[in-house]
């Protein structure tokens, strides 16, 4: 997949975004800069306990998979020359893995479908335009409607086409941009100023749409809003943008440290708007079968998105480890497997480690295959979503049986081998 660079200037507030393809984005605006995001990290606002998913956002980024990461590094140190392709028993580990891959996955059984129905408890109401608002302010509102909710602004700035109402104090920071003129083929046409965009940078008590607040966990956004219209990533800063769209309006959540840090309400436009957006959770598109920007059977570029931290050799395969994910590459330099190592990396629908199984089902629908092996109640099951674009390619969610939370997210060519072994799942 080839990527290109596009520069876009948004409104007149000096907001400039530089994008590299659909899965990488750099942001250089007062709203979305990593520095600005890091300055305002605070405790998540309390929400309805019955709906609130398990919140692991106050833990460091790595503990979710730190044991697995440490185990990989230890193996590298202790057995640097180990060839995992060598037989180690009557059959040999490599032979067992080959047999596992050649064994076709069976369709979901009636019993498995019944279990999935019991787990499928998240039902998201379809979005309407009124769901896209910040503290009740929607695009198209008049200045009087804005001031009715926020009072008189601290200051007002004007340009040729826009007027910005600035609100701010020690606890809140909001900018409301109103268009003051329309430009037609016959020239400028004055009309009643209307809200064109709203930017929320600070304010933990400011309600966003479906009762979301700054510093809420990402999973709560997904459970309230459902499948995002689009997900973009600033690869360098590891900042994600979850986009929800209704009509010609986008509500954009800027996510860092597993929490909502900034929110923008603005006209739907490239690169946030997607012409081929998903229409339902069971729909599939090519980007669903990429992870952290990598697709399978594509040429591998080591530092395409991030600088790698460690490298493991297993026979002809090389495992490249980054802060939040790992990539398995074969002897022909083709990507064969991608896996998350922490809950600071996400799929193209916003899923990650530690999510409840109902959130996964709410985002992806029922899996095409379920691998339920072994009888250990503390073991894991694997939910496979099959790619209609590349036969034998799966997005796999490894689910803990006892807690029903995601233990691993792996993009794989062929079924996983020895799924009860956390290291073997990666192909090590």
With bands split at pLDDT 50, 70 and 90, how would you rate the model's confidence at 66? very low
Asked if residue 21 has pLDDT above 60, the reply is no
State mean pLDDT over 248-257: 95
Note the pLDDT of residue 152: 95
Q: How far apart are CA 67 and CA 317, in angstroms?
A: 22
Asked if residue 263 has pLDDT above 90, the reply is yes
With bands split at pLDDT 50, 70 and 90, how would you rate the model's confidence at 270? confident
For 235-247, write each residue's pLDDT tens digit: 888 899 999 999 8
Note the pLDDT of residue 180: 87
Note the pLDDT of residue 171: 84
Asked if residue 15 has pLDDT above 70, the reply is no
Q: How far apart are CA 263 and CA 207, in angstroms?
A: 11
Note the pLDDT of residue 86: 37
Domain limits, CATH 3.40.33.10, in the chain: 129-267
Residue 122 has, within 13 A of its CA and on its CB side, a CA count of: 26
For 343-399, write each residue's pLDDT tens digit: 999 999 999 999 999 999 999 999 999 999 888 999 999 999 999 999 999 999 999
Q: Average pLDDT of the chain? A: 80
CATH superfamily of 129-267: CAP (3.40.33.10)
State mean pLDDT over 60-77: 51
With bands split at pLDDT 50, 70 and 90, how would you rate the model's confidence at 189? low
Instruction: Quote the percentage of the chain above a pLDDT of 70.
Output: 73
Prediction pTM value: 0.78
- Nearest Cα neighbor of 383 from 373, 402, 393, 369 is 369
Distances (CA, A) of 278 to 123, 147, 226, 229, 283: 17, 36, 11, 7, 6
Asked if residue 79 has pLDDT above 90, the reply is no
With bands split at pLDDT 50, 70 and 90, how would you rate the model's confidence at 170? confident
Asked if residue 120 has pLDDT above 60, the reply is yes
């Amino acid at each position: 997949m080839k990527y290109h660079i596009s520069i876009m200037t948004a409104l007149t507030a000096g907001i400039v975004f530089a994008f590299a393809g659909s899965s990488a984005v750099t942001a250089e605006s007062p709203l979305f800069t990593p520095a600005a995001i890091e300055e305002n990290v605070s405790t998540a606002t309390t929400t309805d306990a019955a709906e609130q998913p398990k919140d692991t956002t106050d833990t460091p980024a790595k503990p979710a998979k730190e044991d697995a990461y440490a185990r990989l590094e230890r193996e590298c140190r202790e057995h640097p020359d180990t060839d995992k392709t060598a037989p180690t028993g009557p059959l040999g580990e490599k032979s067992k893995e080959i047999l596992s891959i050649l064994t076709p996955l069976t369709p979901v059984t009636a019993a498995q479908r019944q279990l999935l129905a019991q787990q499928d408890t998240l039902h998201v109401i379809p979005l309407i335009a009124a769901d896209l608002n910040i503290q009740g302010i929607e695009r198209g509102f008049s200045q009087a409607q804005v001031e009715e909710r926020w009072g008189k602004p601290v200051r007002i700035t004007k340009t040729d086409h826009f007027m910005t109402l600035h609100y701010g104090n020690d606890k809140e920071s909001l900018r409301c941009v109103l268009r003051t003129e329309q430009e037609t083929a016959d020239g400028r046409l004055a009309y009643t100023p209307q809200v064109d965009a709203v930017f929320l940078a600070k304010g933990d008590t400011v309600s966003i749409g479906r009762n979301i607040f700054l510093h809420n966990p990402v999973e709560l956004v997904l459970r309230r809003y459902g499948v995002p219209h689009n997900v973009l990533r600033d690869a360098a800063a590891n900042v994600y943008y979850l986009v929800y769209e209704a009509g010609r309006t986008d509500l954009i959540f800027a996510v860092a440290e597993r929490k909502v840090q900034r929110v923008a309400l603005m006209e739907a436009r490239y690169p946030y708007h997607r012409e081929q957006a998903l229409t339902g959770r069971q729909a599939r598109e090519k980007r669903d079968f990429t992870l952290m920007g990598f697709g399978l059977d594509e040429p591998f570029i080591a530092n395409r998105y991030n600088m790698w931290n460690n490298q493991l050799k297993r026979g002809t395969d090389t495992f490249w480890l980054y802060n939040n994910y790992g990539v398995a590459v074969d002897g022909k330099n083709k990507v064969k497997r991608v896996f998350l190592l922490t809950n600071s990396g996400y799929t193209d629908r916003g899923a990650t480690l530690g999510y409840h199984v109902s959130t996964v089902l709410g985002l992806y629908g029922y899996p095409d295959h379920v691998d339920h092996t072994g009888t250990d109640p503390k073991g894991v099951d694997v939910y496979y979503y099959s790619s209609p674009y590349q036969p034998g390619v799966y997005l796999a969610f490894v689910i803990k049986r006892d807690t029903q939370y995601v233990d691993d997210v792996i993009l794989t060519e062929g079924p996983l081998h020895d799924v009860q072994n956390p290291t073997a799942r990666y192909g090590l």
